[in-house]
Structure 1
Amino acid sequence: MYYKGFYHLFYQYNPYGSTWGNIVWAHSYSKDLINWIPLEPAIYPSAPFDINGTWSGSATILPGNKPIILYTGLDTEYRQVQNIAFPKNASDPLLREWFKPDYNPVINPNKYMNATAFRDPTTAWYGKDGFWRVSVGHKRRNRGIAEVYRTRDFKTWTRGKHPLHSAADTGMWECPDFFPVSLKGTEGLETSVNGNHVKHILKVSLDLTRFDIYMIGSYNAGKERFIPDATSVDNSTGLRYDYGNFYASKTFFDEKNNRRILFGWANESDTKIDDIRKGWAGIQAIPRTLWLDQSGKQLIQWPIKELESIRGNAVHMTNVPLAEGARIEIKGITSAQADVEVTFSLPSLEYAEPFDPTWVDAEQACGSKDPNTLAGIGPFGLLTLASQNVEEYTPVFFHVFKFEDKPVVLMCSGGKMSSLDPDNYKPSFGGYVNVDVKDGSLSLRSLIDHSVVESFGAGGKTCITSRSYPTIAKGANTHLYLFNNGSIPVTVKNLDAWSMGKPRMNI
């Protein structure tokens, strides 16, 4: 949240080690969402209603600039209950200390509910009827549920007659998020906004698949129901914020800059022994600004502008041909820590391979489309975190197909060549990009940071975060290449790449 000139980030943290356990609400603050300074934990197990765990939740700014936190506690009976916390001194802009009233828990699971699957309350939103509402993740058997509760005073809560939304065979809905987006423009909206000029987003983290899916739809405040649009699917085949290693995400409204900001968590995909050895595990992805695409059928995400403040040495390239089998190194920047923006010019769709409509699963399609396999238009893109002789590399690339004379764009990242260590988890992540390439161009931006590559296709329509653990391509031994293994030449219309500095990260 943004409060009195500072951004505050609360996050699940183990102060005693780099494996899961002993979870507290750690707390850091920032002026710019890039440089972060740590404070003492805001919330930790201390009372019967949370003695066995202080788990995820959300912050809400009440009228009069009064912040509160709702969070899930694991009580003495190991039930998941919802608790509230207030700052001890609201005049302190750093909000160093928080207290929990003794009337916690404020929301209990009833006797018919699964008390081991009832967690992660959202930011509250205010209705015209004078009630505040939150949603809490839940499941009944294998049905995922976003429960809804309402209150006037944040002390006494009433469960809705029916869920905000639910879907069969989707498992536990973790970390729900519910917020409005404007039908026009890129500015964000405060969480309580509703009306004919907005759509609503319901995002849930699917525990079964570890996907963060979102639905676009309408919110009927009177009936306390969210209704997904016909083009929005409410299961694991639906739209995702990110088609890679990205989970348990949360947005907030940044009133300073009138935007909605998305944070997501990228966990490790090496071994627990590696985590213990390096002394840490798990990162927050780069904060992203989020808004509704002009089509109204998906969201657009883009790294926050503040990231540009740590750009250093720059490289610019234009009109670089990439013939079949081309591999061109991008020199002059720190390849292990870089920001790369590139626009490709493409040939006519007549040269594209036909698309097989059975390729429904983009990740499976990427797994079967090795970046070294010659094809038509693609694979082409970047080889990031690459060794000099390309024994190791994390590719980020496109394939362009055609189906009934229309383009189908597949975006892939990661894969088995990202590390020579056989113990690492090395999937080929993939997502389809809903973009019309008839104008002959396709863009890619990749943020490269030693063990993570965050990529944004077609201006943020499809995003993929990969975790990679090279054994050779480290530090100064890291290289970055443009490549094309399609049988048809493509051209790098424009490329801008920067070395990235090191911000202050919880030092």
Structure 2
Amino acid sequence: MTMPISAIFLLTLFSVIYGTASTHHLRHTLSSDSYHQPYRTAYHFQPPKNWINGPLRYGGLYHLFYQYNPKGTVWGNIIWAHSVSKDLVNWTPLDPAIFPSQPSDVNGCWSGSATLLPGNKPAILYTGINPLNQQVQNLAKPKNLSDPFLREWVKSPKNPLMAPTSANKINASSFRDPTTAWLGQDGHWRVLVGSKRGTRGMALLYRSKDFVDWVQAKDPLHSILGSGMWECPDFFPVLNNGQLGVDTSVNGDYVRHVLKVSLDDKKHDYYMIGSYNADKDAFIPDKGFNEFVLRYDYGKYYASKSFFDDGKKRRVLLGWVNESSSVADDIKKGWSGIHTIPRAIWLHKSGKQLVLWPVEEIEKLRANPVNLPPQVLEGGKLLQINGVTATQADVEISFSFEKSKLRKAEVLNYWRDPQILCSTKGSSLRSELGPFGLLVFASEGLQEFTSIDHSVVESFEGEGRGCITARVYPTLAIDDKAQIYAFNNGSAEVMITRLSAWSMKKAQIN
């Protein structure tokens, strides 16, 4: 009997079985050349130059605020740059929204979040660095609400609104990245700030009635011993059933809550699923979530931020992908860091993990479709995918194989780190079943290839249950010298049940 399977994307590198039986579906998104630079992406968000890090829908526009160094390629001189979009694909830059101008942010304007207050009034909470190099939390609001571009922002004269003191015992160097706030049934706002005490990572909780005067709660929303600093926390509800998103303030029996943190010690984004006890202001993880195990993305992905898109009733996730190149290379090319393609996010029907999938708007960039008929891919064989721009492509591929071959597959233990496993074993190993998948950025003769975009590859597997983002810097497989292959390095044949590919048009990115 032919067995379609559900596996994380690592199945394309070696044989890994995880989860329940369903069609194994992979989606690779690749991007390419810009400004005559082979590694500059064509439809992943990035500024014209320099370093970026960290959304909001207002007036029919998507607003993306991100950390930016206007004076260099590497970290430093951080301000809040600002770009807008009608479709989450094409972006137009505006003047910086927030830059150092008060004692509470004189040494930099770091990460934060936007919240829509009653009356559709945006407000931003962000971390600033004061003259004592302490991390403090500040407020800014639009100067003109009738301006859909929200071009000017005014800071509160009461800044900072939250600060470390001897009384609250907050580590002044570990107090940052306020979340989007949510409104409780008592009419008070809540917000989280990432912190740690010793090795105990925590999400500190603050309450406010007017969004200006904030009082720290006695206990954090949640904390875990040994997890280290929690950066860029995010806390939001997801429906028990369905793919629609809900406003951050929603709570009830029909939703679960997600607590996501960026673990500074591991440089990855992890999340838990559980419930929010509004009476006690506490997050209670579901069974099996006593520690951070699940990740949004099992590759290079950090400092992500979600927001509720009230226009399309979905929750959208944006994440930062830093470089794998050297600082010297970053300075030479004049830019550093990109954002992933925006992803819709919802709870899987099992209730045990989240699903991530590129927003539907990205498909507007597809051109010149190539559809291959179902076919057998014999062991040790390659299938070249012609007719698409290999450095800038979107590929969807599904595999199946005989159920009896499952006994020959290697099981990925839940606790193992996929990146370590990939780097240890690679895709050139042979077994009876696999590895099989895609080779992208392959040069003629396969002197160079990666099984994992012309410097970024985003892969979505199992209908979005597994995601991997990677940065690659080919030296041979660049521009028109790059090729794409489906491969099978195992001895047993596999069936390609579907293969569709598109060349991707260039988006307007700043």
Q: What is the deviation of 1:233?
A: 4.2
Q: Distance in 1 between matches of 2:390 and 2:472?
A: 14
Query: Which residue of structure 2 aligns with residue 334 of structure 1?
Result: 389
SS of residue in 2 equivalent to 1:459:
helix
SS of residue in 2 equivalent to 1:11:
strand
Give the number of the structure whose residues are more often strand, by fraction.
1
SS of residue in 2 equivalent to 1:476:
helix
Supply the AA of the counterpart residue of 1:56: S
Query: Which residue of structure 2 aligns with residue 376 of structure 1?
Result: 432
- Pairs within 5 Å for 1:400-439: 413=452
Which among 188, 199, 204 is matched to residue 261 of structure 2?
A: 204
Q: What is the deviation of 1:110?
A: 2.7
Q: Distance in 2 between matches of 1:369 and 1:316?
A: 31
Mapped contact 2:227–2:263 kept (Cα < 8 A): yes
Which structure is richer in relative contact order (CA contacts within 8 A, separation 6 or more)? Answer: 2
Supply the AA of the counterpart residue of 2:454: H
Mapped contact 2:299–2:419 kept (Cα < 8 A): no
Query: Which residue of structure 1 aligns with residue 220 of structure 2?
Result: 163
Supply the AA of the counterpart residue of 1:288: R
Q: Distance in 2 between matches of 1:351 and 1:292?
A: 28
Supply the AA of the counterpart residue of 1:251: S
Q: Which runs of 5+ in 1 are unaligned?
A: 396-412, 414-448
Aligned pair 1:321/2:325, yes or no? Answer: no
Distance 1:344 1:356, change over 3 A: closer
Mapped contact 2:316–2:343 kept (Cα < 8 A): yes
**Structure 1, 291-300 or 368-377: larger mean CA deviation:** 368-377
Supply the AA of the counterpart residue of 2:395: V
Q: Distance in 2 between matches of 1:361 and 1:190?
A: 33
- Pairs within 5 Å for 1:177-216: 177-216=234-273
Q: What is the deviation of 1:346?
A: 1.7
Q: What is the deviation of 1:329?
A: 0.7
SS of residue in 1 equivalent to 2:383:
strand
Deviations 1:413-470 (A, max 9, x none): 3xxxxxxxxxxxxxxxxxxxxxxxxxxxxxxxxxxx2100000111110100000000
Q: What is the deviation of 1:370?
A: 2.4
Q: Distance in 2 between matches of 1:392 and 1:39?
A: 40
Distance 1:351 1:148, change over 3 A: closer
Supply the AA of the counterpart residue of 2:445: N
Mapped contact 1:147–1:164 kept (Cα < 8 A): yes
Which among 76, 80, 88 is matched to residue 143 of structure 2?
A: 88
Q: What is the deviation of 1:336?
A: 0.1
Supply the AA of the counterpart residue of 2:89: I
Mapped contact 1:145–1:163 kept (Cα < 8 A): yes
Q: Identity, % of aligned pairs?
A: 55
Q: What is the deviation of 1:351?
A: 4.9
Deviations 1:208-256 (A, max 9, x none): 0001000000000110100111122433xx1000010100000000000
Mapped contact 2:182–2:190 kept (Cα < 8 A): yes
Mapped contact 1:119–1:136 kept (Cα < 8 A): yes
SS of residue in 2 equivalent to 1:314:
strand
Which among 392, 404, 409 is matched to residue 448 of structure 2?
A: 392
Mapped contact 2:237–2:255 kept (Cα < 8 A): yes
SS of residue in 1 equivalent to 2:419:
helix
Q: Which runs of 5+ in 2 are unaligned?
A: 1-55
Distance 1:343 1:22, change over 3 A: same
Q: What is the deviation of 1:368?
A: 2.8
SS of residue in 2 equivalent to 1:472:
coil
Which among 479, 483, 487 is matched to residue 483 of structure 1?
A: 487
Q: Distance in 2 between matches of 1:355 and 1:340?
A: 26
Distance 1:354 1:32, change over 3 A: closer
Mapped contact 2:366–2:505 kept (Cα < 8 A): yes
SS of residue in 2 equivalent to 1:352:
helix
| Superposition CA RMSD, Å | 1.2
- Output the TM-score relative to the length of structure 2: 0.87
Distance 1:355 1:499, change over 3 A: closer
Q: What is the deviation of 1:161?
A: 1.1
Supply the AA of the counterpart residue of 2:233: P
Q: Distance in 1 between matches of 2:111 and 2:226?
A: 24
